[in-house]
Amino acid sequence: MKTENLTIDRRYGRVLYETAKEEKHLDETHDELVALREIYEDVPELGRILSDDRLEPFEKVDILHELDKEFSETISKFLRVIYEYGRMDEVPQIIEEFEFLYYENKGILVADVTSAVPLTDEQVTNVESEIAKNFGYEKVILRSKVDPDILGGLIVNAAHKVIDNSVKKQLETMHKELLK
């Protein structure tokens, strides 16, 4: 993702967070965004379909109306604005920013951890403890993902930082050093 899009996604996420906070609907908005993210996970092409030219505008609007009738006025307005600016494919990233702020407000850090194999319960506990200590949080919500391509080690994405301690990254670094 381009840095420009990331900055814009963060801005939209922050505005949505501030709006929900002002309206005193933070928890409800968070719950609805979790449901919206699930829709995007179930239909991965949804964002691109609503952002590109494969459908006529009236068809996109019909899909948007079907989508937003499931949600509160806050989320419906949010979806309409995002649609108008052609950013429906960025909704998951906007939700990520909202969620970062939502949990940060509660003193909780959400960390995405990628490993080559599934982590055991003991490893999850150890990783949560290390991340909490290194990032200065009391509580960590760990979202694990398995990617055999990293070969070993971990990739941690938390608090807008990525720590890549994967074997793949280490091998790439060694390869570059050897080519010098």
Domains identified in the chain and CATH numbers:
8-103 (1.10.520.20), 108-179 (no CATH)
Beta carbons within 10 angstroms of residue 95's beta carbon: 22
Q: pTM (2 decimals)?
A: 0.83
List CB contacts of 124: < 8 A, sequence separation 6 or more: 142, 144
112-168 pLDDT, tens per residue?
A: 999 999 999 999 999 999 999 999 999 999 999 999 999 999 999 999 899 999 999
Q: What's the pLDDT tens digit per position in 16-49? A: 999 999 999 999 999 999 999 999 999 999 999 9
pLDDT of 68-91, one tens digit each? 888 999 999 999 999 999 999 999
Beta carbons within 10 angstroms of residue 27's beta carbon: 10
CA distance 91 to 82: 8
* pLDDT tens digits, one per residue of 121-135: 999 999 999 999 999
Q: Are 118 and 144 in contact (CB under 8 A)?
A: yes
Q: What per-residue string of b and e applies to 66-85 under the rule 16 or more CB within 10 Å gives b?
A: ebbeebbebbbebbeebbee
User: Three-state SS for 114?
Assistant: strand
> For position 4, what pLDDT does the model report?
65
What pLDDT does 180 receive?
A: 84
List the end-to-end C-alpha distance of the chain, in Å, as a whole number.
29
